[in-house]
Structures are given as C-alpha cells and as structure tokens.
C-alpha cells in the first residue's frame, strides 16, 4: 500500500482507542497530537495545547471504562504484586486517564507503575517500554518518545502500538519522510482504526483533503465498537470543519454523538459550528459544558476567544486565567507546554514570552506547527523578515490550514508585500471563513484595507 494513494487501500491514521479488557495489554496512548490534551487536531488543523499532532490513546474508552480497568488492575496487583504485565497495563491506563480528563497528575502514577513493571522484568519488557513512550509523548518529550518506541520495537517489531507512537513522535519532530514510512508499515501490519486515522493525518499534513477523508471513511468502515465509530466520526467532523464545510461537520457530529452521547471532542466541534452559524448563546452554553467536563487549554482558549469577540472581556479573562493555571499544572507534572504557550502568549501580546517559548521549541524540533508558531511569535515582536522565513517553512508540506495562511498573510502585510498578503488572507478565508472568532474578522479587515490601498 502506498500513502500517496487516496483511493481504497490506504495508509494513514491517528491513534484510536480500544476499550481495555481488564487484563489486556493494549498499552499505549499515542500522544502527540498527543499530548496535554485528549487526542486530536484543533479546530483550525493546527496542534492543540496539550495535543500532539495527534494524541490519542490506544488504551481508551469512556472515563468509566478506564476507571473500571484501573480498579480491576489495582485489585489484581494487590493479590499478585509481581505481575509485571499488569503493572505495564496499569501504567498505560493511567496515561489514558490523563488524556481523557486533562489531569496530568496521572502522569506520575503512570511512571511509577511502568517503572515497577521494568524493575520486575528488566529484559524484553516491550509493554513497559511502549507505555513509557506514550507517557513521554503525552508530556511532549518527543525525542524520548521516539527512542523508547524504537526500543519497544526492538523487542517486538510487530507491535503496532509502538509503531504508532514512533510515527507520532517523528511527525512532531518534523521528520516527515520517516514518519510517513512508519505509518505505512503500521497500516500494512494492522489496517485498523489507529492506522487509518493516522494515515488520514499524513494526507492532511500534505494538503490532500480527499485522501484524508477517504482514510477516515475506511477507519469508520472497520470500527468495531461505538467508541471507535465515534472516534472516526470525530475526526471526520474536524476535517470538515477545518475546511469550512459546516453541513458535513454538523452531520458527523450528530452521528458521533449518537454513538457516544456527550463525547466532549464532538461537543467542541458542535460549539464551533453553532458560533459560525450565529447561534451564539447556544455556542457559549456548549463551550461552558465542554470546559467544565474537560478543561484542557485548547478548549479554554477557544471559549475565551469567542467571549472576547463578543466584547465579554472579563469572562474571557477568567478563561485565560484557567489556561495559565493549567499550563503551570502540566509543567509541574513534567510536561513541555512551550508550543502551546508560544501561540497563547503571542495572541495576548506577551512578546518576550512568546518568542522565548517558540525559539525553545524550534531548537528541538522543526515541525510545520513549530515553524508556524515561531513565525507568529516573531511577527508580534516586529521581526517580520525572520518571521516570513519560518512561515514559508511551515508551508513546506502544502498543509491546508486557515491559521497558517492567516499568519503568513499578516506577516506579508506587515512587510508591505500587499499582493502576497492578499493571496494568503484570501486563502485562509477560503479554507475556513470561521477558523477563529478573533482572527477571521481581522483577516477580513486587513484584506479590505489592502484592497483599498492605491
């Protein structure tokens, strides 16, 4: 199979979760898009705070499923404290719980359980290595996640979960050729929901929306549980939203919620759609439900920006205050939030913090998302020539992102490159005219100003 073929047999995917059988060893949450938030891409196709390019858990299910699995494993370990496989499974479940709840205090529990597994079985313990790789990815330590996933694969070359984690880490590090080849191997080895959803993301990164959609439809075809079905529908909804198709996005959300009522990621897409259609109060109510149930930074920021766009600045400031506290909590638990912090600080005009955080990320990894964030931070610092170099680097894969195009257009406008700026801003609004309640109106205003220049 070839990742370049957008027809029937195809690679691609983001990790999906399968419900953990109490003593099963499905260990891993993919983390990347993982990361501080629960899996997925953000509304505009760029990384979420706490999200990795894709961050998902291979050990997944509802919060109740995960809690029941953790309790059963704990009970087993009280009887059989030397069961290293159960310790590895428990560590994986804790990582999944962190993702499902946006509570990073589970990271320490996960690390303790996974290290206990390795102490009991120091040799050929691929399960613990895979779990530690997922934990590293969740903390945004992608170089460590890559190394651990490779060690797990040295123990078991056919571990599709480890392959998924390796591909996620490579994508976050900007090593795209190797990442895409790894996704292809994962798909060849086990063509299921995790491999097809990851495959879809590789297509999306390269601007092949048709290929991404086909891959997700194939994930939907092979889904064997309501959770997996809702998972695939969630990404179909986000893909449609990212490309401005409100009708399709709404239909996918409705179908997904029929499978998993109350699924927070689907409710977040619904909130965006409601706001785009002018149903502002319903959108605000939905966002309030989303952040009360899953207070991850990306959702809090989106909710705050909608409030800010409506002139409700005090309420927005309260959401941003929670964002700040959440970043501190993740950092205290060993997570790297610099990429998310860079964009957040840039949009709040905190120049030094934005540039410092973005620069730190760029020195470690050169993904398109890091290039875009660094470009935007440099722009708000008035360093637009440098910013444009990074904005162009962020476009090197052909990613169809309204936010990327907007950032590039604003940088070009600041440099007096009016024609290029108009092209970029028109592209942003063509991709998704509702990509941000704050930035989309700014793109329109700037475009109008540029069009009116003599």
Q: Which residues of 32-43 are buried (b: 16+ CB within 10 A; e: fewer)?
A: bbbbbbbbbbbb
Q: What integer pLDDT is reported at residue 176 of this predicted model?
A: 98
pLDDT in tens, 45-101: 333 322 233 333 345 566 778 999 999 999 999 999 999 999 999 999 999 999 888
Residue 20, Cβ neighbours under 10 Å: how many?
A: 26
Task: Please state the length of the chain.
Answer: 454
- The least confident of 56-60, 139-143, 231-235, 420-424 is 56-60
Alpha carbons 43 and 436: distance in angstroms, whole number: 9
**pTM (predicted TM-score):** 0.87
Residues 303, 290: contact at Cβ < 8 Å?
A: yes
pLDDT at 29 over 80: no
Q: What integer pLDDT is reported at residue 36 of this predicted model?
A: 31
Confidence of residue 241 (pLDDT cuts 50, 70, 90): very high
SS3 of residue 36 by DSSP: coil
Q: What integer pLDDT is reported at residue 452 of this predicted model?
A: 80
Lookup result for tokens 């002139």: 311
Average pLDDT, the chain: 88
SS3 of residue 448 by DSSP: helix
35: left (phi over 0), alpha (psi -120 to 50) or beta: left
67, two tokens: 């809690």
Alpha carbons 193 and 187: distance in angstroms, whole number: 10
Q: Which residues contact 302 (CB under 8 A, 6 or more apart)?
A: 43, 268, 271, 272, 287
pLDDT at 399 over 60: yes
Question: Nearest 10 degrees: CA dihedral of 366, 143, 342, 363?
Answer: -50
Q: What integer pLDDT is reported at residue 442 of this predicted model?
A: 97
364, two tokens: 């470690």
SS3 of residue 50 by DSSP: coil
pLDDT in tens, 273-307: 999 999 999 999 999 999 999 999 999 999 999 99
Q: What integer pLDDT is reported at residue 7 of this predicted model?
A: 30
pLDDT in tens, 311-352: 999 999 999 999 999 999 999 999 999 999 999 999 999 999
Confidence of residue 9 (pLDDT cuts 50, 70, 90): very low
Q: What is the CA angle 292-298-302, rounded to 5?
A: 80
Residues 298, 282: contact at Cβ < 8 Å?
A: no
| % of the chain surpassing 70 pLDDT | 86
Alpha carbons 127 and 58: distance in angstroms, whole number: 12
Q: Which domains does the chain have, with CATH numbers?
A: 1-216 (1.25.40.10), 332-451 (1.25.40.10)
Alpha carbons 73 and 70: distance in angstroms, whole number: 5
Q: What is the DSSP letter of 454?
A: -
């Amino acid at each position: 199979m070839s990742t370049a073929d957008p027809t029937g047999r195809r690679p691609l995917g983001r990790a999906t979760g399968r419900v953990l059988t109490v003593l099963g060893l499905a260990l891993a949450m993919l983390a990347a898009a993982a990361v501080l938030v629960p899996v997925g891409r953000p509304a505009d196709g760029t990384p979420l705070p706490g999200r990795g390019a894709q961050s998902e858990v291979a050990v997944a299910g509802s919060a109740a499923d995960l809690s029941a699995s953790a309790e059963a494993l704990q009970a087993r370990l009280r009887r059989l404290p030397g069961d290293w496989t159960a310790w590895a499974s428990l560590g994986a479940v804790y990582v999944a719980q962190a993702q499902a709840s946006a509570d990073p205090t589970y990271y320490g529990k996960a690390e303790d359980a996974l290290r206990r597994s390795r102490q009991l079985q120091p040799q050929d313990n691929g399960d613990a290595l895979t779990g530690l790789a997922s934990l590293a990815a969740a903390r945004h330590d992608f170089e460590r996640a890559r190394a651990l996933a490779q060690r797990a694969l040295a123990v078991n070359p056919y571990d599709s979960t480890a392959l998924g984690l390796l591909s996620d880490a490579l994508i976050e590090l900007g090593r795209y050729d190797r990442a895409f080849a790894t996704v292809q191997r994962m798909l060849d080895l086990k063509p299921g929901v995790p491999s097809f959803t990851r495959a879809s993301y590789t297509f999306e990164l390269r601007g092949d929306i048709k290929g991404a959609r086909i891959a997700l439809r194939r994930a939907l075809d092979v889904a064997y549980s309501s959770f997996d079905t809702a998972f695939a529908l969630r990404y179909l909804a986000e893909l449609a939203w990212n490309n401005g198709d409100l009708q399709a996005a709404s239909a996918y959300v409705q179908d997904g919620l029929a499978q998993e009522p109350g699924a927070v990621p689907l409710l977040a897409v619904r909130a965006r759609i409601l706001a785009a259609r002018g149903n502002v109060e319903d959108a605000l109510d939905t966002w309030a439900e989303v952040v009360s149930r899953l207070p991850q930074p990306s959702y809090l920021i989106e909710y705050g920006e909608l409030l800010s766009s409506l002139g409700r600045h005090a309420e927005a400031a309260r959401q941003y205050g929670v964002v700040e506290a959440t970043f501190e909590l993740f950092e205290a638990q060993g997570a790297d939030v610099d990429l998310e912090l860079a964009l957040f600080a840039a949009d709040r005009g905190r120049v030094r913090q934005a540039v410092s955080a973005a620069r730190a990320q760029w020195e470690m990894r050169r993904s398109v998302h890091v290039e875009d964030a660094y470009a935007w931070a440099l722009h708000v610092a008035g360093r637009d020539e440098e910013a444009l170099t990074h904005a162009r680097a962020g476009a090197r894969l052909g990613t169809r992102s309204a936010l990327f195009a907007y950032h590039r257009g604003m940088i070009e406008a600041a440099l007096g490159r009016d024609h290029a700026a108009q092209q970029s801003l028109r592209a942003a609004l063509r991709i998704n005219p509702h990509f941000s309640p704050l930035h989309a109106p700014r793109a329109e205003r700037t475009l109008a100003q540029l069009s009116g220049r003599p």
